[in-house]
A and B are shown apart, each in its own frame.
Chain A
Amino acid sequence: MYKAFKGTFINIVTNNLRFNMKKIIVFVSTFSALLIGAIGQNNLPAVNIQDIKGATFNTSLIQNNGKPIIISFWATWCKPCIAELTAIAENYADWQEETGVKVIAISIDDARNVAKVEPFVQGRAWDYEVYCDPNGDFKRAMSVNTVPHTFLIDGQGNIVWQHNSYNPGDEDELLELTKKVSKGEKINN
């Protein structure tokens, strides 16, 4: 009985497989093609992190009324991160006026330093929107390896450019790209 059932079952399955072989090949190839099209981070993931006061904040709420957004992952102990955010801070008012951009600084400081993030940011008189990701949830969701890692988001919420590490002068390239994005131009990365 069991054997008969087993045999029938296999027959049904294999027959269907054979019958559908063409379909399956079409399906698999279309699927792979679509998958390749879907590779890469295009939009911001929705992850719970903390605002600078420690309250829960969901990253899906990040927005800037159709204007570009710069997201910079940093830490209070990361010298190049601070250099980058300081360089942008020097001309931030001009950047905002020119492109409407908003800079969002995501601190990956853990429990050791997370309480020092707000005093650090205020002490430096930075005008950025700052959030804390003390256990790396957003960092993982954005596939960030090391800090600094900077993303440029267009007005529709698409990630259009990203850059890992910071060298002095990188902020000039970022400004040029932000200008393009604010005008709705495409950029190649």
Chain B
Amino acid sequence: MKKILLATFIVAFSTLLSAQTNDTDSSKIKDKRDKKVTDGTKEVNWGQIHGNFGLDAQYYLNDALIGAPVVPEKFRANGFLNLVYTNGNFSAGLRYEAYLPKPLLGFDTRYEGQGVPFRYASYKLGGLEVTAGTFYEQFGNGLVLRAYEERSLGFDNFIDGFRAKYTPIKGITLTGLVGKQRFFWTWGAGLVKGFNTDINFGDLFPKLGEKKIKLMIGGSFVSKYQDNEDIINPLNPNQILNLPLNVGAWSGRINFGVGRFSMNAELAYKINDPNRTNNYIYKPGSAFYFSASYVQKGLGITVQAKRIENFDFRSDRNATGQPLLMNFIPMLNKQHTYALAASVYPYAVQTNGELGLQADINFTTPKWLAHKYPTQVNINFSMVNALDTNLTGDLYGYRTDVFGFGRRLYMDANIEISQKISKKVKLNLMGMYLYLDKNLVQGFGSSPREIHAGIIVADVQYKFLPKHTIRLEMQTLITKQELEHLDDRTNGSWVMGLLEYSFSPHFFASVMDQWNVGNPTEEYQIHYITGLVGYNNGSTRITFGYGRQRAGIICVGGVCRTVPASNGFTLSIMSSF
């Protein structure tokens, strides 16, 4: 039997190859975009193979002071290899992943193991594109469907199934998909089905473009099916919930612009979806996103608003945390990158209810005002409140007003100024006020824990010789001590210094100290010192580090994960080909 399979495979494979070769030869398609190899007299198109590779390894040292968990096996590594083969309109790919012997601290332990979870094949034929296997997808802003990967967070919710995209005429795209989502090394319990349409009137009516008008509309319908199960009514232990097996959600959106003005709005609705994150209530969910902007050379203004109500959407009603999310609720606050601003008191999106506003202004000082080098300024304000809810006391959950602002969860006002001083010196300054209700946002409890903090950052870069640059970053976070949280290793004020030397284009070295100088518990006034050296060549980057990692929340692109404290040696290798 095995022999037959093997033989069939070989025959099928060689037929496939020869079919492709014949096709290329007979139709005389000369795809400039693919590498050609001259084989004697005829040209054979062998396609391309490319991919990328990454390895993050850490050797853990015990460090009870910072609260680092003990790692008995000392060494852990996360690695992956992507391979993509393309030949004309055909492509196929796979990804090998390994978490050996266990995932790095901070990644979900259910990733333990190794395998090839991601593999697909797809081809295009005219306006049709078909994919079988695993794929990523986003409808509109992602309010009802977004399958994506954020490797640094261990987030991956690809769909494994079928997808077809069809463009009957330029300006109209239809997408249909069905499949199950990734759940570590297997699939989630629910089946995901989705349909999406995007229409660009600018393509359909070119005259709109001439008048500098753009108009795009889109609509999506997404549904999940999950088998019935016995879940006890949280309000009545003698009763089993009557669960909806199919849960549908839709969204409609518009993207409109005239000249320098643009606006983008999306409204989404979901029928009753009792699930673990909303404590099995039967209230329908809704989500609204709005963004408007004005631009001219040297000036850009954005105003955004959103309202999210009971909109955690997963393909398994019992899932929590990162796994099996079907949608994406964007955070509307500045994505900070300076360490103290980004990761001491970060905001985490509340998928089951929040109201958010953001204003963002970017400008460059006009030439007549500036001296030799223009100044670049970014001013940003954002705030997020919980919904103002009235509990109904039954399985419906709660009622709320459309504009009912509940408790303040987060607020952030900041200004950032970039100034080139001379050919050798560049300066970046940031000042920020931050408010966070740490308990409500990070899920530590229902009683408020209000943090007010001021953050100042000065970042100076000095290119003392061609190719040789030194960068110094000084940060401070000032906040009052919380004497009722003496067991918290993130408490009170911080200072941070970072010194970085780089030798373009291949080497860099840096040393950083984050010091919780204001912690009311004296032994927790810890220095988190880290040293890092790195080498870059082409698309390869190797870094080696040693030091302490502070416990906290790391957020990338609106999704966060908590990282425990750790101490040890790190090695990271990234490469693509």
Contacts and interface: CB of A to CB of B under 8 A. Distances in A.
A29 interface: no
Given A40-B48, A54-B216, A165-B536, A123 B378 contact: yes
Given A41-B48, A116-B302, A163-B538, A143 B577 contact: yes
Interface string A122-151: 111100000000111100110111100100
A157 interface: yes
A145 B575 CA distance: 7
Contacts of B534: 165
Contacts of A92: none
Contact of B539 (A44, A79, A113, A164): A164
B533 interface: no
Contacts of A124: 362, 364, 376
Contact of B364 (A39, A125, A141, A173): A125
B371 interface: no
B48 A9 contact: no
Given A39-B577, A110-B558, A168 B461 contact: yes
B449 interface: no
B577 A172 contact: no
A116 B361 CA distance: 9
A13 B10 CA distance: 10
Interface string B322-336: 000000101110011
Given A55-B202, A56-B198, A165-B536, A42 B557 contact: no
Interface residues of B, number: 97
A38 B330 contact: no
Contacts of B374: 125
Given A40-B50, A54-B216, A119-B362, A157 B136 contact: no
A141 B84 contact: yes
Given A119-B301, A163-B536, A43 B216 contact: no
Interface stretch (B98-106, B238-246, B500-508, B520-528): B500-508
A111 B314 CA distance: 19
A172 B467 contact: yes
B523 to A, nearest CB: 33
B392 interface: no
Contact of A122 (B17, B214, B297): B297
The listed residue with most B CB atoms (<10 A of its CB), out of A79, A86, A134, A143, is A143
Interface stretch (B33-41, B186-194, B436-444): B33-41
Given A39-B577, A144-B576, A172-B504, A115 B291 contact: yes
A161 B538 contact: yes
B142 interface: yes
B231 interface: no
Nearest to B349: A112
Contacts of A163: 505, 536, 538-539
Contacts, number: 233
Interface in A152-170: 157, 161-165, 167-170
Nearest to B377: A123
B84 A162 contact: no
A135 B35 CA distance: 27
Given A163-B539, A167-B504, A119 B293 contact: yes
B82 interface: yes
A60 B86 CA distance: 14
Interface string A4-35: 00100110011001000000000100110011
Contacts of B362: 119-120, 122-124
Contacts of B376: 86, 123-124
Interface string A167-184: 111101100000000000
Given A38-B37, A77-B335, A168 B50 contact: no
B330 A10 contact: no
A146 B574 contact: yes
Interface string A45-74: 110000001111000100000000000000
Contacts of A140: 82, 84, 136
Contact of A34 (B44, B138, B332): B44
Given A43-B34, A54-B216, A145-B52, A115 B302 contact: yes
A78 B7 contact: no
B200 interface: yes
A118 B293 contact: yes
Given A78-B337, A122-B296, A169-B502, 8 more contacts: A54-B255, A118-B262, A119-B302, A137-B136, A143-B50, A146-B541, A168-B461, A168-B463
